[in-house]
Protein backbone atom coordinates (compact mmCIF):
# COMPACT_ATOMS: atom_id res chain seq x y z
CA UNK A 1 0.00 0.00 0.00
CA UNK A 2 1.41 3.39 -1.02
CA UNK A 3 2.23 5.83 1.78
CA UNK A 4 1.89 9.60 1.16
CA UNK A 5 5.68 9.95 1.16
CA UNK A 6 5.74 7.60 -1.86
CA UNK A 7 3.45 9.95 -3.79
CA UNK A 8 4.87 13.42 -3.17
CA UNK A 9 6.13 15.00 -6.40
CA UNK A 10 4.35 12.42 -8.54
CA UNK A 11 1.20 12.62 -10.63
CA UNK A 12 -1.91 10.52 -10.14
CA UNK A 13 -4.67 9.79 -12.61
CA UNK A 14 -7.32 11.28 -10.37
CA UNK A 15 -9.20 14.53 -9.82
CA UNK A 16 -10.93 15.08 -6.48
CA UNK A 17 -14.70 14.69 -6.56
CA UNK A 18 -16.04 18.19 -5.72
CA UNK A 19 -19.00 16.79 -3.80
CA UNK A 20 -22.72 17.34 -4.14
CA UNK A 21 -25.66 18.32 -2.00
CA UNK A 22 -27.41 16.65 0.91
CA UNK A 23 -30.38 15.79 -1.30
CA UNK A 24 -28.13 13.36 -3.18
CA UNK A 25 -27.35 11.49 0.02
CA UNK A 26 -30.48 9.35 0.07
CA UNK A 27 -31.92 7.67 3.20
CA UNK A 28 -30.08 8.23 6.46
CA UNK A 29 -28.73 5.58 8.81
CA UNK A 30 -28.77 6.69 12.46
CA UNK A 31 -28.86 10.26 11.17
CA UNK A 32 -25.77 9.83 8.95
CA UNK A 33 -25.51 9.33 5.20
CA UNK A 34 -24.21 5.86 4.22
CA UNK A 35 -22.95 4.59 0.87
CA UNK A 36 -21.31 7.84 -0.25
CA UNK A 37 -18.10 6.18 -1.42
CA UNK A 38 -16.26 5.20 -4.58
CA UNK A 39 -13.44 2.71 -5.08
CA UNK A 40 -10.46 4.33 -6.81
CA UNK A 41 -7.45 2.79 -8.54
CA UNK A 42 -5.29 5.71 -9.74
CA UNK A 43 -2.24 5.12 -11.92
CA UNK A 44 0.90 6.90 -10.68
CA UNK A 45 3.18 8.86 -13.07
CA UNK A 46 6.63 10.26 -12.41
CA UNK A 47 8.70 13.01 -14.02
CA UNK A 48 9.99 16.52 -13.56
CA UNK A 49 7.25 17.82 -15.85
CA UNK A 50 3.78 16.38 -16.54
CA UNK A 51 4.51 16.60 -20.26
CA UNK A 52 7.27 14.01 -19.90
CA UNK A 53 5.89 11.98 -16.98
CA UNK A 54 5.96 8.20 -17.37
CA UNK A 55 3.77 5.51 -15.89
CA UNK A 56 5.46 3.99 -12.82
CA UNK A 57 3.16 0.92 -13.04
CA UNK A 58 2.18 1.62 -9.45
CA UNK A 59 -1.47 2.07 -8.51
CA UNK A 60 -2.81 4.20 -5.67
CA UNK A 61 -5.86 2.39 -4.34
CA UNK A 62 -8.27 3.94 -1.87
CA UNK A 63 -11.90 4.41 -0.94
CA UNK A 64 -13.06 7.95 -1.63
CA UNK A 65 -15.57 9.31 0.89
CA UNK A 66 -17.70 11.98 -0.75
CA UNK A 67 -18.38 15.43 0.67
CA UNK A 68 -22.05 16.35 0.99
CA UNK A 69 -22.71 19.85 2.40
CA UNK A 70 -25.55 19.53 4.89
CA UNK A 71 -24.89 15.84 5.58
CA UNK A 72 -22.49 13.64 7.51
CA UNK A 73 -20.99 10.92 5.33
CA UNK A 74 -19.04 8.00 6.73
CA UNK A 75 -17.16 4.83 5.87
CA UNK A 76 -15.20 2.05 7.53
CA UNK A 77 -11.46 2.36 8.11
CA UNK A 78 -11.03 -1.40 8.33
CA UNK A 79 -10.61 -2.13 4.62
CA UNK A 80 -7.64 0.01 3.58
CA UNK A 81 -6.88 3.63 2.73
CA UNK A 82 -9.60 6.30 2.74
CA UNK A 83 -9.40 9.71 1.04
CA UNK A 84 -12.00 12.45 1.53
CA UNK A 85 -12.38 16.07 0.47
CA UNK A 86 -12.13 18.67 -0.88
CA UNK A 87 -11.58 20.32 2.48
CA UNK A 88 -12.59 23.92 3.14
CA UNK A 89 -13.45 24.04 6.81
CA UNK A 90 -15.10 20.68 7.51
CA UNK A 91 -14.01 18.41 10.31
CA UNK A 92 -13.11 14.77 9.80
CA UNK A 93 -13.79 12.56 12.79
CA UNK A 94 -12.66 9.03 13.56
CA UNK A 95 -14.90 7.08 15.89
CA UNK A 96 -15.70 3.58 17.02
CA UNK A 97 -19.13 2.03 16.46
CA UNK A 98 -19.13 -1.56 15.26
CA UNK A 99 -15.52 -1.00 14.23
CA UNK A 100 -13.44 2.07 13.48
CA UNK A 101 -14.99 4.53 11.04
CA UNK A 102 -14.40 7.96 9.53
CA UNK A 103 -17.02 10.71 9.26
CA UNK A 104 -16.91 13.81 7.04
CA UNK A 105 -19.09 16.48 8.71
CA UNK A 106 -20.33 18.39 5.67
CA UNK A 107 -20.39 21.99 6.82
CA UNK A 108 -20.38 24.91 4.39
CA UNK A 109 -17.97 27.88 4.38
CA UNK A 110 -19.98 29.70 7.06
CA UNK A 111 -20.62 27.98 10.39
CA UNK A 112 -24.07 29.59 10.50
CA UNK A 113 -25.10 28.52 6.98
CA UNK A 114 -28.21 26.30 6.91
CA UNK A 115 -26.15 23.40 5.52
CA UNK A 116 -23.59 23.78 8.30
CA UNK A 117 -26.27 23.82 10.99
CA UNK A 118 -27.96 20.74 9.50
CA UNK A 119 -24.70 18.75 9.40
CA UNK A 120 -23.69 19.82 12.90
CA UNK A 121 -27.07 18.87 14.34
CA UNK A 122 -26.83 15.42 12.72
CA UNK A 123 -23.32 14.85 14.05
CA UNK A 124 -23.97 16.16 17.56
CA UNK A 125 -26.99 13.88 17.82
CA UNK A 126 -25.04 10.88 16.55
CA UNK A 127 -21.95 11.40 18.69
CA UNK A 128 -24.09 11.57 21.84
CA UNK A 129 -25.17 7.94 21.36
CA UNK A 130 -23.91 5.56 24.07
CA UNK A 131 -22.57 3.13 21.45
CA UNK A 132 -20.26 5.75 19.85
CA UNK A 133 -16.81 6.05 21.43
CA UNK A 134 -13.17 7.07 20.91
CA UNK A 135 -14.08 10.15 18.87
CA UNK A 136 -11.20 12.27 17.58
CA UNK A 137 -11.04 14.82 14.79
CA UNK A 138 -9.02 17.19 12.64
CA UNK A 139 -9.48 19.82 9.93
CA UNK A 140 -7.00 19.05 7.10
CA UNK A 141 -7.03 22.53 5.62
CA UNK A 142 -5.53 23.83 8.88
CA UNK A 143 -2.28 22.15 7.82
CA UNK A 144 -1.74 24.19 4.63
CA UNK A 145 -1.61 27.97 4.34
CA UNK A 146 -3.09 30.05 1.55
CA UNK A 147 0.48 30.56 0.36
CA UNK A 148 1.04 26.80 0.19
CA UNK A 149 -2.06 26.36 -1.94
CA UNK A 150 -1.27 29.30 -4.21
CA UNK A 151 2.31 28.08 -4.78
CA UNK A 152 1.06 24.61 -5.72
CA UNK A 153 -1.28 25.84 -8.46
CA UNK A 154 -0.37 25.25 -12.11
CA UNK A 155 -0.67 28.21 -14.47
CA UNK A 156 -4.16 27.94 -15.92
CA UNK A 157 -5.05 25.11 -13.58
CA UNK A 158 -7.82 24.69 -11.06
CA UNK A 159 -7.31 25.55 -7.40
CA UNK A 160 -5.40 22.74 -5.62
CA UNK A 161 -7.48 20.53 -3.35
CA UNK A 162 -6.73 19.64 0.25
CA UNK A 163 -7.88 16.15 1.21
CA UNK A 164 -7.70 13.93 4.25
CA UNK A 165 -5.89 10.61 3.79
CA UNK A 166 -6.23 7.84 6.37
CA UNK A 167 -4.11 4.71 6.07
CA UNK A 168 -2.48 2.14 8.41
CA UNK A 169 -3.67 3.94 11.52
CA UNK A 170 -2.27 7.33 10.45
CA UNK A 171 -4.05 10.53 9.40
CA UNK A 172 -2.59 12.91 6.81
CA UNK A 173 -3.50 16.09 4.98
CA UNK A 174 -2.57 15.97 1.28
CA UNK A 175 -2.34 18.81 -1.24
CA UNK A 176 -3.27 17.84 -4.81
CA UNK A 177 -2.89 20.25 -7.74
CA UNK A 178 -4.86 19.49 -10.95
CA UNK A 179 -2.74 19.59 -14.11
CA UNK A 180 -4.26 21.74 -16.92
CA UNK A 181 -5.19 19.84 -20.07
CA UNK A 182 -2.75 21.85 -22.20
CA UNK A 183 0.13 20.71 -19.99
CA UNK A 184 -0.89 17.08 -20.03
CA UNK A 185 -0.27 15.22 -23.30
CA UNK A 186 -0.92 11.83 -21.71
CA UNK A 187 -4.63 11.92 -22.43
CA UNK A 188 -5.59 11.21 -18.81
CA UNK A 189 -6.63 13.56 -16.03
CA UNK A 190 -3.69 14.23 -13.72
CA UNK A 191 -3.21 15.76 -10.30
CA UNK A 192 0.19 16.39 -8.76
CA UNK A 193 0.64 15.28 -5.16
CA UNK A 194 2.42 18.40 -3.94
CA UNK A 195 2.82 17.76 -0.21
CA UNK A 196 1.55 15.86 2.79
CA UNK A 197 1.51 16.58 6.49
CA UNK A 198 0.75 14.16 9.28
CA UNK A 199 -2.29 15.24 11.27
CA UNK A 200 -2.69 14.98 15.01
CA UNK A 201 -6.27 14.02 15.78
CA UNK A 202 -7.77 16.04 18.63
CA UNK A 203 -10.10 14.55 21.24
CA UNK A 204 -13.78 15.31 20.69
CA UNK A 205 -13.97 17.04 24.07
CA UNK A 206 -11.59 19.70 22.72
CA UNK A 207 -13.32 20.07 19.36
CA UNK A 208 -16.86 20.33 20.72
CA UNK A 209 -15.79 23.24 22.92
CA UNK A 210 -15.00 25.31 19.81
CA UNK A 211 -17.39 28.00 18.65
CA UNK A 212 -17.81 26.38 15.23
CA UNK A 213 -19.73 23.48 16.79
CA UNK A 214 -22.13 25.64 18.75
CA UNK A 215 -25.68 25.77 17.34
Task: State in Å, rounded, how far the first CA of the chain is from the last one.
Answer: 40
CA distance linking residue 111 with residue 72, whole number of Å: 15
Instruction: Grade residue 13 by pLDDT with cuts at 50, 70 and 90.
Output: very high
Does residue 144 surpass a pLDDT of 90?
Answer: yes
pLDDT at 124: 94
| Residue 86 pLDDT greater than 90, yes or no | yes
- 1-5, 45-49, 108-112, 149-153, range with greatest mean pLDDT: 149-153
Position 168 scores a pLDDT of: 79
Q: For residues 207 and 32, is the Cβ–Cβ distance under 8 A?
A: no
pLDDT in tens, 16-33: 999 877 666 678 888 899
| Average pLDDT across the chain, whole number | 91
Question: Residue 22: its pLDDT value, please?
Answer: 67
48 or 40, which is more confident: 40
The predicted model scores a pTM of 0.93
In this structure, are residues 149 and 159 in contact, taking their beta carbons and an 8 Å threshold? yes
Per-residue pLDDT at 153 exceeds 90:
yes
- Mean pLDDT to the nearest integer, 180-200: 89
Residue 28 has a pLDDT of 83
- The answer, yes or no, to whether residue 208 has pLDDT greater than 90, is no
Amino acid sequence: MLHPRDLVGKYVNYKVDPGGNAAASGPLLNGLSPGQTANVAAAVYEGADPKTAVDTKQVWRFTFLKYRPGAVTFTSLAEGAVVTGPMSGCYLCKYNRLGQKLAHIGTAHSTTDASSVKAKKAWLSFVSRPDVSDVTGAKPDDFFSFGDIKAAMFNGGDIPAVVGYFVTGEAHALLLAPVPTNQNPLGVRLSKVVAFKKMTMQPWSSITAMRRFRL
